[in-house]
Chain A
């Protein structure tokens, strides 16, 4: 039984009929890690934002459904939708430098949701905040609680954001390229931390990345996106043995092998791109008619 169930989701650029998402369907099981891959601009972030109700004003949902725990979010009035998302889902953002409010202390930024949205007692929320900071291996949690974001390093802040995401025990977490903005030296630790936390809490995870190497190690299933269109959706094991779609194969070929970082990248062949674009055009044709 999937916790997140997206069906035929279409998003357009407001004021045009250009589609940014072209009928995307996607499932994430209750404790599953789903990798969402594709080149930049494929619409990975759009999917995550649509799920969390934070699409930019320039984007507009024009069709489909997003079911969270069996409730279609798109049928709820905005206030209730936001409340439900706040209770059941959380985001680990891309850039830890801009995702914390510079004017507020760390503690309340983690604990506020527990009190305001989940209705916890203040003391319990505070204890939980300290505990979760401990869980993400932050030394001296009581000091960090009282700190302002600018007093912490980038890696520290990303730990804080991970703590904040897991603090409310959400059933689904969307992580949008959570390490691309970090130093290469801390990327691995942060990735490890995310999956350690995911495993411990049994949270469903929608993991947005363009790194197939990471997907192969951590995800159970993956979805390949091109031009807002799902190219392939597969079990990770099966996928890396034999990707079905030519575009997936090309993407896999283009991924640098960790064994030999000096090896040349194979660019995605033009014929494959043409094929993918053909699929996009077909989808649009069907949609417009």
Chain B
């Protein structure tokens, strides 16, 4: 049963990814305009164009081109970046850890912050504090990460400059790292000096990404907690002598979390999507920043690769959340 669910889910994921590939390909090849002309720097000769056409297989038919390209992609050949003349896959993978670490840090902050808001709101339900929290939460919800990023830059970069608002890590520290997972590595190697420098750089962009998601989690989780607090088993726990805090944390929270969890999946993909502009805003050297550079330099193979990687990431996150949901819900697990 569980296995069948898993297989169906993987099959739909593959269909989605194929669709993504078709669209990425179509956007770049079918949209009016000569892709090669766009790739070339101004002042290129006819011979340059012909050579490039042949190099990218652009002299073949569109479907043919698609399958050649797709065949390459499946084997890990994403083509060659036009600006750097390096394989796209290598470039993209070198930046992926930075974006992953930023996204995960933002997710952790969002869950912690949103959870705190929901728990406080539930504990103080039907008071003025809850109302004030709701209003603030509503505002946080309706302002996107880009604006939060700018606000944070103003507050903590200029007015009260305690955080670095540019880059991923102090440049002189880069040689200290053996892998591209800086944050992870600093923890594993217990290099808290490095860790501190990283966090000092990452906290602001991560917070900008986290605030809208935290607000959504806060809103949904609180609503579901408040509903749970009326249920009989919660009442029964009260008669056992448990305090309200204990009742919320141990009886209500676990059951209230499940509906929030599926939502976090979709929202986490939005958060990852948000890294594109947030990385730009904070000059953070991740995939998103690379993507915008690629667009500005008209490096289409690189853009293709990055978009595909993002799409893969999104679908994997959704898949993971689905499975996690099945594992966490005892009723689904045993049914």
Count the A residues whose beta carbon is within 8 Å of the partner chain — how many?
31
Q: What separation, in Å, do the CA atoms of A117 and B241 have in the docked complex?
A: 7
Q: Does A57 contact B (CB under 8 A)?
A: yes
Q: Does B240 contact A (CB under 8 A)?
A: yes
Q: Does A79 contact B (CB under 8 A)?
A: yes
Q: State whether A93 and B240 are in contact (beta carbons under 8 Å apart), knowing that A98-B231, A103-B330 are contacts in the complex.
A: no
Q: Does A52 contact B (CB under 8 A)?
A: yes
B124 to chain A, nearest CB (A): 13
Is A93 touching B236 in the complex (CB atoms < 8 A)?
A: yes
CB-based nearest A residue for B240: A113
Q: What separation, in Å, do the CA atoms of A54 and B237 have in the docked complex?
A: 10
Q: What separation, in Å, do the CA atoms of A53 and B242 have in the docked complex?
A: 12
CB-based nearest A residue for B238: A54
Q: What separation, in Å, do the CA atoms of A90 and B239 have in the docked complex?
A: 6
From the candidates A98, A112, A148, name the one contacting B240 in the complex (CB within 8 A): A112
Is B251 touching A101 in the complex (CB atoms < 8 A)?
A: yes
Is B241 touching A87 in the complex (CB atoms < 8 A)?
A: yes
CB-based nearest A residue for B328: A103
Is B239 touching A54 in the complex (CB atoms < 8 A)?
A: yes
Chain A residues closer than 8 Å to B242, beta-carbon distance: 82, 86, 113, 116-117
Is A150 touching B330 in the complex (CB atoms < 8 A)?
A: yes
Q: What separation, in Å, do the CA atoms of A113 and B242 have in the docked complex?
A: 8
Is A150 touching B238 in the complex (CB atoms < 8 A)?
A: no
Kindly identify, within residues 43 to 93 of chain A, every residue whose CB is under 8 Å from any CB belonging to chain B: 52-54, 57, 79, 82-87, 89-91, 93
A156 to chain B, nearest CB (A): 16
CB-based nearest A residue for B252: A101
14 examples of A-B residue contacts, CB within 8 angstroms: A79-B243, A82-B238, A82-B241, A82-B242, A84-B241, A85-B239, A93-B236, A99-B236, A101-B251, A116-B241, A117-B240, A117-B241, A150-B334, A161-B236
Residues of chain A having any CB pair with chain B under 8 Å: 52-54, 57, 79, 82-87, 89-91, 93, 95, 98-104, 112-113, 116-117, 148, 150-151, 161
Add 8 more A-B contacts to A102-B330, A117-B240 (CB < 8 A). Answer: A54-B238, A82-B242, A93-B232, A98-B231, A99-B233, A102-B331, A116-B241, A148-B331
